[in-house]
Amino acid sequence: MSSETTARISPVLSGVTLGLTGTAEITVGPEHTASFVGSGRIAVLATPVMINLIEAAALAAVEHLLPPGHQSLGIHLDVGHTAATPIGLRVVATAEVTHVEGRTVTFRVTARDEFEPIGGGTHKRVVVSVARFDERVAHKVRGEK
């Protein structure tokens, strides 16, 4: 990375480099289907479940590199779900770090079953201090701005 790019990276992301990858996988069960989660009526892998798997892959890529007291939160998804996966097939999601700026990490994400690619796109996560995040949420719970 150039020094210009490095200057825009938060110190909490110093261990996160381009090309890092993470994966997550499931075998599609009835509880993973569109008809079960309410996102459709057909018993195939639900899009929200595919998205959850993609986020899990992104977590696997970088979460272990964050300093204590920090975690990443999903802030943007731009993915397509292009092929159906029936119950019983294995699905693997992969997330690759493609850009790091400030506290934000961008991933190229893909999902595929045992036969073909089933979806993909981009995903962004921001790294936060858990203590500060919890404090902001507590203010909302108490009705404070």
d(CA 53, CA 118) in angstroms, rounded, equals 12
Please spell the DSSP secondary structure of the chain, one letter per residue.
--HHHHHTB-GGGTT--TT-EEEEEEE--GGGBHHHHTS-SSSBB-HHHHHHHHHHHHHHHHGGGSPTTEEEEEEEEEEEE-S--BTT-EEEEEEEEEEEEBTEEEEEEEEEESSSEEEEEEEEEEEEEHHHHHHHHHHHHTT--
Active-site amino acid positions: 47, 55, 81
